[in-house]
Structure 1
Amino acid sequence: MSSATLSKKDTTISILIIGTLFFIFGFVSWVNSILIPYFKIACELNHFESYLVTFAFYISYFVMSVPSSYLLRKVGFKKGIMFGFWVMSIGAFTFIPAAYSRIYEVFLFGLFTIGVGLAILQTAANPYITILGPKESAAQRISIMGIFNKGAGIVAPLLFAAVVLKATDTDLFAQLSSMSADQKAPLLDELIRRVIKPYMVVGTVLFLLGLLVRFSPLPEIDTEKESEEVAHANAEKKSIFDFPHLILGALAIFLHVGTQIISIDTIINYAISMNIPLLEAKSFPAYVLTATIIGYIMGIIAIPKFISQVNALRLCTTLGITLTFLITTNHTEVNILGHHTSISIWFVVLLGLANSLVWAAIWPLALDGLGRFTKLGASLLIMGLSGNALIPLVYGSIADHFGVQQAYWILLPCYSYLFFYAIKGHKIRKWKL
């Protein structure tokens, strides 16, 4: 079925169902922001080791994005999403033996498995929402999906903290460094086993969601249908590597998601470095995501009526470059929302605004004119999500050697490339030596 043949009712239902998927994406992804410091304490890790959480979770996108496109082509859109949810369910249930053993590597395997399922879902949902309406308003629709995603991201770490952490944990965490290994072991075992019940619930819900989507009214859409004009332009194209704007767009996605994950998943540890207890620091990812949602709402209102997708990308990347300098060079103490901190952490919060419209702008620019190569092109963009796996590790390594504030310099080359893609990269249609 072509998206052009869908009724307004079918389109609305489709957007709501895909929006629910994006909520699930957000919940299981952004809970990592609290898992990182939680595992750092319970499994006694350094910064680099703790960011293996994001590596294990997101490297699955590199492994699975292309196989996901072939899976979706073979079994269809809804069955593919069902399988994705079921794989995620297996990953969630893996947390049970991991918690009983307190073996970090088993947790990482569970996170990798959740990521594999999520890669299937992302490969299906992102191109679907991109073509579900006019190309010029694709960024607007993706921004709506972003509100679902980031709304879940606000809820996830706060809900996890409410269920797993106790008011007395602040004292416990302060005392751990003075305890012997024998004294710490039973306390850390009890701490890590608190994840068992929540992840049993998560695993069950994911399994049931797979069944729900399988029998939902979500229509199958032909994402590879080409107009005559596009088919003629692509007649000599043999592979996705014949589309420079796509390849450069995949690199842009790689760097963008890295900047996004750093702003959200490092901010708790940054707050802890300012002597803010974990029970207070847990709120900071929600502040970043709130800033992102504000950016999404601005995008929904302004794109394409007042500002184009490209100009929104240029504006956001310029803001990101500016904030990077402010984060790494400011030490002024402030009191904001009841938190006594360096003002630099609030510039990290504002990265949520800088990152808000980047993803939504890159997708339609990178997939423009791909025609029959759209699904494979979308897989390549999903592969770019492996930036979430690698860039935080670089941040963690720099943080271990030079401190958590100076590690934010890693953002500068990322935003600089994104600015290049906004100015020139998305226009390149032929490789030139």
Structure 2
Amino acid sequence: MNTKTISKEINTKAIFIIGVLFFIFGFITWLNGTLIPFLKIICELQTDTQAFFVVTASYMAYFFLAIPASFILKKTGYKNGMAFGLLIMTFGTLIFLPAASSRNFSFFLTGLFLQGAGLALLQTAANPYISILGPIESAAKRISIMGISNKLAGVISPLILSTLLLGNIESVEKKLINNSSLSEKTLILTELANKIKVPYIIMAVILFSLAVLIFRSALPEIRDSKQSNNTSEINATTKSIFYYPHLWLGVLSIFLYVGTEVLAGDAIGIYGNAMGMPFNETKYFTSFTLSGMLIGYIFGILTIPKYISQQGALKLCALLGIILSIAIYLTNGYLAIFFIAMLGLSNSLMWPAIFPLAIDGLGSKTKIGAALLIMGIAGGALIPLIFATLKHIPHIGYKLAFFLCIFPAYSIILFFSIKGFKIGK
């Protein structure tokens, strides 16, 4: 079905359904900030590096599944592919039940990887779907609206899960320290671990229900448009994907952007704990960062492209990230936490700006280019892990480790926004 044949009514319904999916993306993705300290306690992990495998398991799925997802979607179509992705996420969510009963960290990581695999399939389908579900000229506006739905869920989800799982965590830690009996410690940890079961059962039911709803919905199946006879399109067909350096710089920029976004959202609590702030406060810090991203998306809707171009917005965000990187390193306490939360603002418009700049001019290679960019989401798996490892090295510590992870990243993204997006065009 061509986009032009879709009625306005169906279009509105379709956009609403995809908006719900983007809400799900955000809700599940940003639970990691709560799961890191929770799983560290119940699974008795020794270091933060081990705990940060939570985000590694979740985001590495994008690296392995992005290109296979594009082939799956060719067979299933967009609608059935999205339903299939939700079913995979349902299965991954249910694995949390035996994982909680056994307090087995490997089981939790398996569940997180499967959730990430389902999300990779959903993202690969939903991002281009919302772009072509209407005039291309208004695609940026639709993507920004989806971003608001995504980040609004990201603000809510850690607040809910933190309240349910970490509500009295300090008293639990005191009991564990003061109790020398192994059987008593096991009982306390098992009781704490079981708290995760009810919210994840509810989540699994919602995911499964959404899968059935989408499968049975009248969501239009949009086919890719026929290839143009334009000379640039024909030339793009004959060139290797390695011929486009601006694409590969875009992949690197996505990798670094997602890494800094996850670090700012999921590590802000760890950063606060390192400065002596109590769990009762730091468990809510992820929501502060995502609130910053939400403000940035609203700013983007109001200003792009009327007052500022996508490239200009990316440049502005990268410069803000560099300034905040220095400010975080030079400050302490709640002021430093405020600056980390402000990274949400600097990160907000990077995805909508990097993605179109990187795939511009690819012609028939656009699909594989988009899949490579989705693979770049793996930056969320590796950069937080690098931070967790660096901060334990003598003479580095958490402040310098954080700076070394984010300052070079924003500098490279700034280069892409000024010159990199034009190289090879």
Q: Taking structure 1 as the reference length, what is the TM-score of the superposition?
A: 0.92
- Kindly indicate whether the alpha-carbon contact (under 8 Å) linking 1:223 and 1:375 is maintained by their aligned counterparts in 2: no
Pick closer, same or farther for the CA change 1:365–1:190 going to 2, 3 Å.
same
- Aligned partner (choices 352, 357, 381) of residue 360 of structure 1: 352
Pick closer, same or farther for the CA change 1:300–1:181 going to 2, 3 Å.
farther
- Kindly indicate whether the alpha-carbon contact (under 8 Å) linking 1:88 and 1:114 is maintained by their aligned counterparts in 2: yes
Partner of 1:408: 402
Residues 9-29 of structure 1, C-alpha deviation per residue, up to 9 Å, x if partnerless?
343333222111110000110
Partner of 1:304: 305
Query: What count of residue pairs does the alignment treat as equivalent?
Result: 419
Q: 1:34-433 alignment to 2 at 5 Å?
A: 34-45=34-45, 46-135=47-136, 137-166=138-167, 168-180=168-180, 182=182, 183-223=184-224, 225-229=226-230, 230-237=232-239, 239-331=240-332, 341-401=333-393, 402-409=396-403, 410-429=405-424
- Kindly indicate whether the alpha-carbon contact (under 8 Å) linking 1:139 and 1:361 is maintained by their aligned counterparts in 2: no
In structure 2, C-alpha distance between the alignment counterparts of 1:181 and 1:133, rounded to whole Å: 63
How many angstroms does 1:244 deviate by?
A: 2.5
How many angstroms does 1:60 deviate by?
A: 0.6
Pick closer, same or farther for the CA change 1:387–1:365 going to 2, 3 Å.
same
Identity of aligned residues (%): 47
- Kindly indicate whether the alpha-carbon contact (under 8 Å) linking 2:325 and 2:407 is maintained by their aligned counterparts in 1: yes
- Kindly indicate whether the alpha-carbon contact (under 8 Å) linking 1:52 and 1:108 is maintained by their aligned counterparts in 2: yes
Greater mean deviation of Cα atoms: 276-285 or 142-151: 276-285
In structure 1, C-alpha distance between the alignment counterparts of 2:140 and 2:379, rounded to whole Å: 21
- Kindly indicate whether the alpha-carbon contact (under 8 Å) linking 2:62 and 2:378 is maintained by their aligned counterparts in 1: yes
SS at match of 1:11: helix
How many angstroms does 1:169 deviate by?
A: 2.9
List gaps (5 residues or longer) in structure 2.
Answer: none
- Kindly indicate whether the alpha-carbon contact (under 8 Å) linking 1:98 and 1:104 is maintained by their aligned counterparts in 2: yes
Residues 207-255 of structure 1, C-alpha deviation per residue, up to 9 Å, x if partnerless?
1111111122221223464333252342422x43333322221111111
How many angstroms does 1:41 deviate by?
A: 1.8
- Kindly indicate whether the alpha-carbon contact (under 8 Å) linking 2:27 and 2:154 is maintained by their aligned counterparts in 1: yes
Pick closer, same or farther for the CA change 1:278–1:181 going to 2, 3 Å.
same
Residues 105-157 of structure 1, C-alpha deviation per residue, up to 9 Å, x if partnerless?
11001101111111100110112223344555433322211111111111111
In structure 2, C-alpha distance between the alignment counterparts of 1:207 and 1:348, rounded to whole Å: 36
List gaps (5 residues or longer) in structure 1.
Answer: 332-340
In structure 1, C-alpha distance between the alignment counterparts of 2:319 and 2:135, rounded to whole Å: 27
- Kindly indicate whether the alpha-carbon contact (under 8 Å) linking 1:249 and 1:421 is maintained by their aligned counterparts in 2: yes
In structure 2, C-alpha distance between the alignment counterparts of 1:395 and 1:42, rounded to whole Å: 22
- Kindly indicate whether the alpha-carbon contact (under 8 Å) linking 1:64 and 1:120 is maintained by their aligned counterparts in 2: yes
In structure 2, C-alpha distance between the alignment counterparts of 1:234 and 1:258, rounded to whole Å: 31
How many angstroms does 1:307 deviate by?
A: 0.4
In structure 1, C-alpha distance between the alignment counterparts of 2:349 and 2:228, rounded to whole Å: 28
Greater mean deviation of Cα atoms: 269-278 or 403-412: 269-278
In structure 1, C-alpha distance between the alignment counterparts of 2:190 and 2:128, rounded to whole Å: 43
Partner of 1:2: 2
Partner of 1:29: 29
Pick closer, same or farther for the CA change 1:219–1:371 going to 2, 3 Å.
farther
Residues 75-97 of structure 1, C-alpha deviation per residue, up to 9 Å, x if partnerless?
11111111111110010000011
Residues 26-68 of structure 1, C-alpha deviation per residue, up to 9 Å, x if partnerless?
0110011100111122222211011000001111111111100
How many angstroms does 1:5 deviate by?
A: 4.2
- Kindly indicate whether the alpha-carbon contact (under 8 Å) linking 1:130 and 1:363 is maintained by their aligned counterparts in 2: no
Pick closer, same or farther for the CA change 1:225–1:311 going to 2, 3 Å.
farther
In structure 2, C-alpha distance between the alignment counterparts of 1:212 and 1:284, rounded to whole Å: 34
SS at match of 1:400: coil
Partner of 1:336: none
In structure 1, C-alpha distance between the alignment counterparts of 2:346 and 2:142, rounded to whole Å: 18
Q: Tell me how large the CA RMSD over aligned residues is.
A: 1.8
How many angstroms does 1:427 deviate by?
A: 1.3
In structure 1, C-alpha distance between the alignment counterparts of 2:142 and 2:211, rounded to whole Å: 24
